[in-house]
Amino acid sequence: MDLGTFSPVLLIASLMVAATPILLASIGELVAERAGVLNLGVEGMMITGAVCGFILAVEIGNPWVGFLGAALGGALLSLLFALLTQILLSNQVATGLALTLFGLGLSALLGQGYIGVRAPSLPRVDLGPLSDLPYVGRIVFGQDLMVYISLALVAAVWAVLKYTRAGLILRAVGENHAAAHALGYNVVAVRTAAIAFGGACAGLGGGYLSLVRVPQWTEGMTAGAGWIALAIVVFASWRPWRLLLGAYLFGGITGLQLNIQAGGLSLLNILPAILISVGIVTLLVQLFRHLRGGPVARRTMITGQLLVAAGIVLAGLNRLFPDMRIDQAFWLSASPYLVTILVLVVMSAGRAPGSLGKTFHAST
Amino acid sequence: MLKLEKRQRPSEVWSYATPVIAVLLTMVFGGLLFMALGKDPFVAIRTIFWDPLFSEFAFFYRPQLLVKGAPLVLIAIGLSYGFRAGIWNIGAEGQYIVGAIFAAAAGLALYPMEARWLIFPLMVLAGAFGGFLWAMIPGILKVRFGTNEILVSLMLVYVAEQLLASMALGALKNPEGFGFPGSRNLAQWSSSQNLEIVAGSGMHWGVVVAFLAVIGTYVTMSRHVLGFQIRLTGQSPRAAAFSGVNPARLVLVSLGVSGALAGLAGMFEVTGPAGQISIDFNAGYGFTAIIVAFLGRLHPIGIMLAGGLMALTYIGGEIAQSQLQMPAAAIQLFQGMLLFFLLAVDVVTHYRVRWRRPASARVAAE
Amino acid sequence: MRDVLLALEGLTKAYPGVVANEDVSFTIGRGEIHALLGENGAGKSTLVKTIYGLVKPDRGRMVLNGARFEPAEPRAARTSGVAMVFQHFSLFDALNVAENIALGMENPPSQRDLAARIEEVSETYGLPLDPFRVVGDLSAGERQRVEIIRCLLQDPKLLIMDEPTSVLTPQEVTILFETLRKLSAEGTAILYISHKLEEIRALCETATILRLGRNVGTCDPRETSARQMAEMMVGGTLHVPEREAAAPGEVALRLESLSAPSPRAFGTSLKEIRLDVRRGEVLGIGGVAGNGQDELLDALSGELRVAPGMIFFEGRDVGAEGPDLRRALGLLAAPEERNGHAAAPEMSLTENAILTGRVREGLSRRGFLNWGRAKTFAERVIERFDVRTPGADNTAMSLSGGNLQKFVIGREILQRPEVLIVNQPTWGVDASAAAAIRQALLDLASNGAAVIVISQDLDELMEISDRFAALNEGRLSEPRPAPGLTVDEIGLMLGGAHDMEVAHVAE
């Protein structure tokens, strides 16, 4: 197997970069969904964030102003969603779709003059000797600040949800809005705040795409990342740390795909490795669950084992028939989406917040 | 303070009035948007909504109304089955693409045979089947594994787009096309072309099928048990289960119908207006159809009217692009705005809006 | 006379089309156990919601401890010392006991301190509870304890209890009453809402009776007969159902080791239920809410399919069949929840008639609906069961609870069932409608159908059942002849007092 320019260290480092937009968007959506709001407009908020961030960064010449603008853009758009679903009581699914269609149009319009422009770059955090450590240095200490911020955000969301009263109230509102209302909590206010947080995070994720990951503005550049973020929330069973795992898994697949395309690797050489690693991660998740005393999903276990087996068989076939032909470009480009579907099927989702997606109207 | 009170039943008057109000609001805010872009708002609105129908060159644009409206109506009609039952197929764009690919592949497999009586019907079937199959993926995954159909059907749009690119560049590429991407022209092959039935009217076979779909759906929804079950499931899933509706069957039927209709739309497009499988074959009809479905209140007649209106904004948008240098994105935004306003004003259909003095004011008044 | 804690003066609250409370005045003394009595729809809920700050009155005022009391929201009411235990529990299934309690407090201590205090209070009042259990897994009685402890931790001056005993076994009721008396002795006033007269006579010192939103009288329940109070409540004399005795016929429905997992999160699975139901008999199934009633009804209606060999209708195995085929055979059902289960709220009564009547009444042919026949059928139900509505074109949600219930039960009865299963047939229905429904069920049985009535209202079951069985955690007790069963025997069949007796001994 010719690995060529293929370097595991660079791969992992690029994986984290590839995962960050999705991670940011999905941690925001997780908070909204824990408050009982299903906002399908992540894609629209992300791309609006991407364009707002890009324009501001270019005009002011500072990427941080760009990120601020991205978060604001996403949050503003999400407030439109809040107005419709929380005050005008519209259907959340339909409104989310509308938000996406609207966001795509809005961003295309705003970004017209910015196609082909370069954004000011975001410096890598340089921690001196730490960053120079072999392998670990580049991965752990050599990222840009937004990567660390996204990780801190995951930790913060986890801690707030688990340990603070605000988190408890948010979970209560998402679990049973009628009961929360009966206890005197302001359901609409809590949800509006959660929606705005979700919008800001999605905007940040979009901003990271246009300012760091690509870094350019092109129409429709999110290319489904917002939807993948929604899928990851389901995959994570609404838990922050599993969300991190999911996002990095996806980042890994996208990063790998780009590496393969750039490095001219044959998909068939890589596919077994992908299958085996996805299978192993699946099994590890189950093992982790088991160790925590949770129930083990048999279906997931079997699927994990099947993936590993399929990978091994494929590797064998590779050896036997080196001339097997596949339309590489298709499978590579489609892989993030196919893997999303696969993961949605394999992962038996946990219990969703009780009031998720339901319209709340205080009848008194 | 404004208070909302749930109505005992949705207001009929408002359910007819809200789409009209939404369109008017969109015109007003769209006009403001065009003004911000430095265009005369009145000219812009006139160009979009009036010129295609009544201007000097309207004879040229009017047929386009049917050409653009047919796929929108076909797809939206299909979506209405699922949307009414709370099953959200938002991947019609993918089903539309795959329908076109299947139809083209079935036809081109027999190229250059001259047998329209065989090939055209075969392509129709293949198109419907392709869309159906693509929609069955989220359907079966939902029924079998409880997978979210919204996400799966949407992911499959991106996969279908990649498949389209791969087909245009590979398997279906025109061998005599001098290396250019894209398939043979299906609109120029007598066995496969989707002709205008009345010359100059824009009336092709897809328009006929769209009308049939409207009528068929009207009958199904108002008279057939399936329509009753779909409405019941959408309003009270638990009551539907008690009534004897098999939810899995309903998921498959509604996704299947919408997939097949979207596939048909793709078939009629690739054999007619588009002419060939190419990388940019799809124009977003599958997503715009979502707006059409809601704007038409998921009612077949409403969808027909909404489809016509949406087609108008497409045509008018193109005119505005060429004559007023209006950016294409402005039209896209305009369409998205329409759905927003519809959802926003819809509140009055289900709720009565009342003005109440806040408690503190009342105490003070006593 | 005790010191006045809370005085209500001329409270009035109107909703579009109904006056929920009209000029209601009364006082509650410090430490008094005060009953608020009335039929469904008499305005009890609105009144207590007003006191708890969930509803703002249109007119009138409240005085608490001599000061004007106008809680803008429940939080304000709680701060003033008013606590409330809801009829439909305001609990969060996915959260644990301590978290649920913390949500009802203004300044909760840390989770660990809170857990300690929960254990302390539950010990003092004989209400055992593990602070770290997930609430969704608790029984109805335990869930009520969560609510009560949540209130007690606030040191309330006034504790409002909305129909607290509807979810308890008789033994649990006795223990609850001891807790309430103890609280009263410590100076906490209790506003006790119920329509169960005997309970009120056993517990309360004063009773205020509401009818159609008005205060129609105050009395000392210990010195007033149940009949007198009932007549104040209803405003007339009560009709007691009657039936002709009929010899039971052959077995119409047989359950053999019926087991099925619940389709819902935090539901109760059915475990090895055995039962024979004969033609001409009414079998009453009692049980505290959440012990498998919904699941049993679902399994019998066909909404929940079960393995073969468990449900036999006249000897035919129907466990794997759906609702349509069971209806065709004559096995009909009416679920508890009217809105969204037995009926679709936003659909017309005609459409709701199709909902279950399509197969048996021939409302469709070759897949096409016959709207004319459907409407005629709906109108027949409306007429025969005295459903108050302008017509069959009106939506189900435009009907009052009692009227919709009459429609739902009537819809099944008019289809001439061989076996009819109803769950909570008179829940939330006024007394006269309830009497009419019970009479209709008895008539059905007299005409040779087998009737299963699942209910949490023991009085109702004793009134109409030939045999009685109880559901407890998804298991069904051996049915016993209903006449002559004592309250203690029934209580034991219902599962006794769960783990409460143990705690009491320890006290």
Which of the four pLDDT bands, split at 50, 70 and 90, describes residue C500? very low
Q: What is the mean pLDDT of residues B196-223?
A: 90
pLDDT at C503: 39
Residue carrying structure tokens 């494929």: A314
* Token reading at B23: 């369109």
Instruction: State which H helix or E strand residue A354 sits in.
Output: none
Distance from CA of C74 to the nearest CA of A (A): 5
Confidence class for position A128, pLDDT limits 50, 70, 90: low
Return the domain boundaries, chain C: 4-234, 251-342+417-493
Other C-beta atoms within 10 Å of C483: how many?
Answer: 10
pLDDT at B356 over 70: no
Is A359 among the domain residues?
no
Closest to A229 measured CA to CA, from B173, C144, B154: B154
Residue C87, Cβ density class (10 Å: 0-12 exposed, 13-18 middle, ≥19 buried): middle
- Specify the residue for token string 């929804």: B221
Best residue in C338, C339, C349, C369 for a mutation probing chain B (most B CBs within 10 Å): C369
Rounded to the nearest 10 degrees, what angle do helices C349-357 and C401-413 cross at? 40
Nearest to C408 by CA among C341, C310, C330, C316: C341
What is the C-alpha radius of gyration for chain C, rounded to an integer number of angstroms?
Answer: 24
Q: Are B46 and B323 in contact (CB under 8 A)?
A: no
Give the number of other Cβ atoms within 10 Å of residue C170's Cβ.
18
Structure tokens at B34: 């065009």
The ipTM of this complex is: 0.85
In a domain? residue A99: yes
Q: For testing the chain C interface, which of A163, A169, A175 should be mutated: the one with the most C CBs within 10 Å?
A: A175
| The dihedral sign for the CA sequence C487, C491, C492, C498 | negative
How is residue A284 written in tokens? 């590890």
Give the number of domains in chain A: 1
Amino acid B217 reads T
- B329 neighbourhood in chain A, CB within 8 Å: 105-106, 108-109, 112, 219
Predicted pLDDT at A269: 65
A183·C53 Cβ contact <8 A: no
| Candidate from A88, A94, A327 with C-beta closest to B347 | A88
Sign of dihedral through CA atoms A269, A271, A275, A278?
positive
Q: Give residue-wise pLDDT tens across range B4-13.
A: 887 777 788 8
Q: How confident is the model at residue C504 (pLDDT cuts 50, 70, 90)?
A: very low
Are the Cβ atoms of B244 and C322 closer than 8 angstroms? yes
CA distance C276 to B257: 45
Of C303, C346, C354, the CB nearest to B9: C346
B-chain residue closest to A77, CA distance: B340
Which tokens sit at B247?
């939810």
Half-sphere exposure of B154 (CA within 13 A, CB side): 25
Provide the CB-side half-sphere exposure for C440 (13 A, CA): 27
| Structure tokens belonging to residue B7 | 């109505």
Of C345, C367, C398, the CB nearest to B224: C367
pLDDT at A214: 82
Rounded mean pLDDT, A194-216: 93
pLDDT at position A4 over 60: no
At A183, list the tokens. Answer: 């206890």
Residue C501 φ then ψ, to 5°? -60, -40
Question: Angle at which helices B285-295 and B328-345 pack, to 10 degrees?
Answer: 30
Distance CA C8, CA C36 (A): 13
pLDDT given for residue B364 in this prediction:
36
Confidence class for position B362, pLDDT limits 50, 70, 90: very low
The reported pLDDT for the residue numbered A223 is: 86
Is the CB of residue C354 less than 8 Å from the CB of residue C405?
Answer: no
Round to whole Å and give the CA distance between B123 and B129.
9
CB within 8 Å: C355 and B243: yes
Query: Nearest residue of C to residue B350 by CA position?
Result: C346
Cβ–Cβ gap B165/A105 under 8 Å: no
Q: CB–CB of B225 and C364 under 8 A?
A: yes
C86: nearest CA partner in chain A: A182
Q: How close does chain B come to C41, measured CA to CA in Å?
A: 18
Q: Which residue has the higher pLDDT, B270 or C494?
A: B270
Structure tokens at C416: 């001439």
User: What is the distance between the alpha carbons of residues C409 and C430, in angstroms, rounded to a whole number?
Assistant: 15
C95 contacts A175? CB cut-off 8 A: yes
A101, pLDDT greater than 70 = yes
Which of C90, C94, C95 comes nearest A182 by C-beta?
C90
Residues B225, C345: C-beta atoms closer than 8 Å: no
Q: How many CA atoms lie within 13 A of C222 on its CB side?
A: 7
Q: Residue C34 is which amino acid?
A: H
Nearest CA in chain C to B366: C59
Whole-number Å distance between alpha carbons of C189 and C266: 34
Cβ–Cβ under 8 Å, residues B74 and B213: yes
Whole-number Å distance between alpha carbons of C323 and C412 = 13
Confidence of residue C251 (pLDDT cuts 50, 70, 90): very high
Q: What percent of chain B has pLDDT over 70?
A: 96
Backbone angles phi, psi at C339, to 5 degrees: -85, 110
Please give the structure tokens belonging to residue C304. Answer: 């929940």
Helix A240-263 to helix A8-34 angle (10° resolution) is: 140
Mean pLDDT of chain A: 83
CA distance C391 to C379: 8
Residue A364 resides in a domain: no
Judged by CB atoms closer than 8 Å, whether chains meet at A354 and C49 is answered as: no
Instruction: Out of A299-303, C75-79, C128-132, pick the least confident.
Output: A299-303
Contact A184 C78 (CB under 8 A): yes
pLDDT at C333 over 60: yes
Are the C-beta atoms of residues C376 and C296 closer than 8 Å to each other?
Answer: no
DSSP annotation string for C90-127:
---TTSBHHHHHHHT-SS---HHHHHHHHHHHHHHTT-
C32-70 confidence digits (pLDDT tens): 999 998 877 788 888 998 999 888 899 999 999 888 999
- What is the per-residue DSSP string for B227-238? HHHHHHHHH-HH
**Cα dihedral B276/B279/B283/B289 (nearest 10):** 90
Give residue-wise pLDDT tens across range C101-125: 998 887 888 888 899 999 888 888 8
For residue A131, is pLDDT > 70? Answer: no
CATH of the domain at A130: 1.10.3470
The percent of residues in chain B predicted with pLDDT above 90, rounded, is: 48
If one compares C28 and A259, the residue with the highest pLDDT of the two is C28
H helices of chain A, where? 8-34, 42-60, 63-82, 92-110, 129-132, 136-140, 145-163, 165-175, 177-182, 187-208, 225-235, 240-263, 267-291, 298-320, 328-346
In a domain, residue A55? The reply is yes
Task: For residue A356, tell me if it sits in a domain.
Answer: no
Selected residue of C15, C18, C48, C90 to mutate for chain A interface (largest A Cβ count, 10 A): C90
Q: What is the pLDDT of residue A2?
A: 40
Minimum-distance CB partner of B235 among C335, C341, C347: C347
Among B364, B281, B253, B305, smallest CA distance to B96 is for B281
Question: Does A183 fall in a domain?
Answer: yes
Domain hosting A340: range is 8-346
Q: Residue A344 is nearest to which of B148, B165, B169, comparing CB atoms?
A: B148
Q: Which residues of C touch B239 (CB under 8 A)?
A: 340-344, 355
In a domain, A355, yes or no: no
**Chain B: residue nearest C71 by CA?**
B359
Q: From chain A, pick out residues whose CB is under 8 angstroms from the CB of B145.
A: 299, 345, 348
**Can you tell me the mean pLDDT for C337-355?**
93
- pLDDT of A89 higher than 50: yes
Q: In chain A, what percentage of residues exceed pLDDT 90?
A: 38
Q: How far apart are the first and last CA of chain B?
A: 18
CA-nearest residue to B7 within chain A is A363
Q: From CA C395, how far away is CA C413, in angstroms rounded?
A: 21
Q: Tens of pLDDT along C84-98?
A: 887 666 789 889 999
Kindly list the residues from chain C whose CB atom is less than 8 angstroms away from the CB atom of residue B359: 56, 70, 72
Q: Is A184 on the interface with C (CB under 8 A)?
A: yes
Residue of A nearest to C71 (CA): A184
- What is the tens place of the pLDDT at every residue in A21-77? 999 999 999 999 999 999 999 999 999 999 999 999 999 888 899 999 999 999 999
A354 contacts chain C (CB < 8 A): yes
Contact between residue C18 and residue A333 where contact means Cβ atoms under 8 Å apart: no
Q: At residue C499, does pLDDT exceed 80?
A: no
What architecture is domain C4-234?
Answer: 3-Layer(aba) Sandwich (3.40)
pLDDT of residue A280: 82
> Count of B–C CB contacts within 8 Å?
75
Q: Which CATH number fits domain C251-342+417-493: 3.60.21.10, 3.40.50.300, 3.10.450.50, 3.30.1510.10?
A: 3.40.50.300
Chain A interface, best mutation among B93, B314, B343, by max A CB count within 10 A: B343
